[in-house]
Chains A and B, each alone.
Chain A
Amino acid sequence: MTNGGIFMSRNEPRRWNILGNPDCRRVARFQAALNQRGQLSAQLIDYASVLGGDSSLTESLASGTLLRIESAAESFSTRRMLLAYGYDRAMAEGYQAASPQQIERHTSAASIEFKPRQLYLGFQRLLQEVDEVCAASGCLPVQAPTDIACMYDKWHCQQLLAAAGIAVPKLLGRIQSWDHLRELTGNDGRTMVKMAHGSGGVGCIALHWSHGRVRAFMSSQTLAMAAPELADLSVPIQVLSDERSLAYVIEQLVPEQIHLEHWLAKAKHQGNPFDLRVVVIAGRPRHAIARVGRSPFTNLNLGGQRLGLDQLDGSERVNLWSQVESMAAKVANCFPQTLSFGLDLLLTPTGQLNVLEVNAFGDLLLNVLSEGQDPYAAEIAATEAWIPSRSGDLSTTGIAVA
């Protein structure tokens, strides 16, 4: 069998494809990074075309080429199409899905918080199809579609990491109801609710119980999703201390799949807690920032401030980078067919790293360079050397796998 796709000379870099949205800045930046290296622009495969049912995916992905999958949900119209794409799967699992007609009518379908489980199921379905097309065509995705699907499911992703012996906040269980949550939390202690498919802190609720009293920290966006009448969008973070309201919020989130984990204390920088966002490329941590917050959430969209790791105070940070390197390598081992991901790491006040989250599209870190390269340039530069290490991969020989 010979390569049915594009023949390349030994020195010529492989051609790239991007599955993405045409007006997405991530796509534009990646294209620019390719051009700056003197490489041809990637062939863009539009999410809308694929989701619309045309055959652009199968026609575009030639053997021996590379595929980069970009974030889909940034685009309002793509999000609506993904919701519709997830309708059957959502109905099949008993979820109160929005029908394609309802999605069309519903203006709130524009919000990222609308039916996250259904959105995920649509994306998961698409990713499976991409996986199949790649396998059939011999195109090499630099992120395994199954890995992306895993990273977009916080419970499964954290379980996978925990099973590999990687430190994560202790997983306490998936929440079936308010009563179930109360059983798990007891009357004292700190726990964190996480929504399986949330992003930007949406669906994260930090719970502090003390002698049966509770305070629940969450973003106002979380409340806007679960109990709009309680949301105050003029502030990033709200605190509920009324148990009945909180119970209502939790019950609203249960269908979106939530789990409970330990709420770990964070190390502080000048009195403010921080965590780390690290871009891992080919198993190495490359670009990193600290996110310093004034609440349990350090997300930049919730008021977190960026800081370089070298700007952090505290002497325990001396060995921080070698700890990050070891952690990045361990997590990358869990996703050997994925070139790059964003890693959110929590440093405890006593200096231990924990993985908070793995972000499939966590490489958009503006104005941070590693060895003179931004994350996109670094990924492109690292790709050729990475391909042979990609386990179970036959296309490195240039022979298509039918």
Chain B
Amino acid sequence: MTIDQNYVKFFGLPVVDFEKPEDWKGPSKAYRVRVDWDTSTEEMGKRYELLGSQADSDKLTAIIVGAWMGDDSSNDSSTVIQHLVALAPKLPALKAIFVGDITYEENEMSWIEQSDLAPLLAAYPGLELLQARGGNSLSISQTTHENLKSLIIETGGMPRSVLRDISRCSFPNLEHLELWLGTGEYGWDGGVEDLQPILTGKLFPKLSYLGLRNSDAIDEIAPVLPNAPLISQLQVLDLSLGSLSDVGARPLLALASAGNLKKLDLSHHYIAPEVVEELQAALPFEVVANDPQEADDEWRNIYVSE
């Protein structure tokens, strides 16, 4: 599978592509700025500047960074992040940023070069949602952010260094942590031990949603989850888009005694129907297991692995 469509909704708002003043439809939209491969990357900066100078742009709450790389798919996100940082005084109401709404036509997920996201957190103290797509060169320098509620990082392969970075940050109000771990083929070099700091439950006291999605290591990760201290504070555990099989699914029966859980999402999986039924019967909360996959011999795919 691939990501073949740009966002049409973000942070609850309809998305509008912004290139020029006529595209401004007031502050109650999420604006996406991007350049295609035939357009100079300098346009990115000009378009952001223009966006920041619209009437009412001080009320804007959501911005999407689309494809920024122009004709060189290895251009990283640092320049575009600088543009956004420079714009911060003009966007005091900004609450949501997505860096990397990029389709597979625009760039291969595993070719996207990110950079340090921390400057965005520093520049926008009111930020509640930070989302990024692409794991290469991604980092979050140690930072504290009082208002961040959601952190979403989508990758085809997440370097363990990103997990380490997240563990070192202080997000006292983080409620939603969604990590697309990906495959070893495209950069996942971690293991269960790299998730342990998060699973202790000490880092993010308000966390109620944990997503360990799009992972081909999920069979190894799932068995440790029922015993993780974090689980008792979660309402949603999302293990979807991965390659979960019976091996990883059966130990999840032990979640039956996991306090507050309201939902376990296993969608896009390789679990046998009878095991799904067993989970649904045994667990005292909603178990979603849509989109069952058919294993091709020994080969099991995750949702995005390019």
A271 is contacted by which of B8, B38, B108, B111 (Cβ under 8 Å)? B8
Flag the segment in B68-76, B78-86, B141-149 that touches A. Answer: B68-76
* Cα A264 to Cα B105 with chains together (Å): 12
- With a 10 A CB-CB cut-off, give which of B8, B19, B36, B306 has the most chain A CB atoms: B36
**Is B200 interfacial (CB 8 A cutoff)?**
no
B71 is contacted by which of A189, A272, A350 (Cβ under 8 Å)? A189
A213-257 contacts to B, CB under 8 A, are: 213, 215, 217, 239, 241
Question: Chain B contacts of A211 at CB under 8 A?
Answer: 73-74
User: Is A190 in contact with B37, judged by CB distance below 8 angstroms?
Assistant: yes
* Cα A198 to Cα B6 with chains together (Å): 29
User: Is B38 in contact with A239, judged by CB distance below 8 angstroms?
Assistant: no
Smallest CB separation, B235 vs chain A (Å): 31
User: Is B71 in contact with A349, judged by CB distance below 8 angstroms?
Assistant: no
User: Is A295 in contact with B39, judged by CB distance below 8 angstroms?
Assistant: no
Per-position binary interface string of chain A over residues 69-85, scored 1 when its CB falls under 8 Å from any chain B CB and 0 otherwise = 00000000000000000
**Is B4 interfacial (CB 8 A cutoff)?**
yes
User: Is A271 in contact with B23, judged by CB distance below 8 angstroms?
Assistant: no
User: Is B72 in contact with A188, judged by CB distance below 8 angstroms?
Assistant: yes
User: Is A349 in contact with B39, judged by CB distance below 8 angstroms?
Assistant: yes
User: Is B111 in contact with A210, judged by CB distance below 8 angstroms?
Assistant: yes
Question: Chain B contacts of A213 at CB under 8 A?
Answer: 111
Size bin of chain A's contact surface: 20 to 34
Per-position binary interface string of chain A over residues 136-165, scored 1 when its CB falls under 8 Å from any chain B CB and 0 otherwise = 000000000000000000000000000000
* Cα A217 to Cα B104 with chains together (Å): 10
Chain B residue at smallest Cβ distance from A211: B74
Question: Chain B contacts of A264 at CB under 8 A?
Answer: 38
**Is A296 interfacial (CB 8 A cutoff)?**
yes
User: Is B105 in contact with A217, judged by CB distance below 8 angstroms?
Assistant: yes
**Is A86 interfacial (CB 8 A cutoff)?**
no
User: Is A265 in contact with B38, judged by CB distance below 8 angstroms?
Assistant: yes
* Cα A211 to Cα B19 with chains together (Å): 29
Question: Chain A contacts of B15 at CB under 8 A?
Answer: 270-271
Question: Chain A contacts of B39 at CB under 8 A?
Answer: 265, 349-350
User: Is A210 in contact with B105, judged by CB distance below 8 angstroms?
Assistant: no
* Cα A219 to Cα B20 with chains together (Å): 35
A254-311 contacts to B, CB under 8 A, are: 264-265, 268, 270-273, 294-296
**Is A319 interfacial (CB 8 A cutoff)?**
no
Size bin of chain B's contact surface: 20 to 34
User: Is B17 in contact with A295, judged by CB distance below 8 angstroms?
Assistant: no
User: Is A210 in contact with B72, judged by CB distance below 8 angstroms?
Assistant: yes
User: Is A272 in contact with B5, judged by CB distance below 8 angstroms?
Assistant: yes
**Is A2 interfacial (CB 8 A cutoff)?**
no
B104 is contacted by which of A239, A315, A348 (Cβ under 8 Å)? A239
B22 is contacted by which of A190, A265, A271, A315 (Cβ under 8 Å)? A315
B158-180 contacts to A, CB under 8 A, are: none
* Cα A390 to Cα B177 with chains together (Å): 68
* Cα A222 to Cα B71 with chains together (Å): 26
Question: Chain B contacts of A68 at CB under 8 A?
Answer: none
User: Is B71 in contact with A188, judged by CB distance below 8 angstroms?
Assistant: yes
* Cα A42 to Cα B108 with chains together (Å): 53
Per-position binary interface string of chain B over residues 1-27, scored 1 when its CB falls under 8 Å from any chain A CB and 0 otherwise = 010111110000001010110110000
**Is A208 interfacial (CB 8 A cutoff)?**
yes
User: Is B71 in contact with A239, judged by CB distance below 8 angstroms?
Assistant: no
Per-position binary interface string of chain B over residues 100-124, scored 1 when its CB falls under 8 Å from any chain A CB and 0 otherwise = 0001110010010000000000000
B36 is contacted by which of A189, A271, A296, A349 (Cβ under 8 Å)? A349
* Cα A272 to Cα B71 with chains together (Å): 19
Question: Chain B contacts of A210 at CB under 8 A?
Answer: 72-74, 111
User: Is B8 in contact with A208, judged by CB distance below 8 angstroms?
Assistant: no
Smallest CB separation, A192 vs chain B (Å): 12
Smallest CB separation, A53 vs chain B (Å): 49
Chain A residue at smallest Cβ distance from B3: A294
A295 is contacted by which of B4, B32, B108 (Cβ under 8 Å)? B4
Question: Chain B contacts of A270 at CB under 8 A?
Answer: 6, 8, 15
- With a 10 A CB-CB cut-off, give which of A239, A264, A294, A315 has the most chain B CB atoms: A294
Question: Chain B contacts of A208 at CB under 8 A?
Answer: 73, 108
B23-73 contacts to A, CB under 8 A, are: 23, 32, 36-39, 71-73
User: Is A268 in contact with B5, judged by CB distance below 8 angstroms?
Assistant: no
Question: Chain B contacts of A349 at CB under 8 A?
Answer: 19, 36, 38-39
CB pairs A–B below 8 angstroms (12 shown):
A188-B71, A210-B72, A210-B111, A211-B73, A217-B105, A264-B38, A265-B37, A265-B38, A270-B6, A271-B7, A272-B5, A349-B39
Binding site for B on A (CB under 8 A): 188-190, 208, 210-211, 213, 215, 217, 239, 241, 264-265, 268, 270-273, 294-296, 314-315, 348-350
Closest 5 CB pairs of A and B: A271-B6, A265-B36, A294-B4, A210-B73, A315-B22
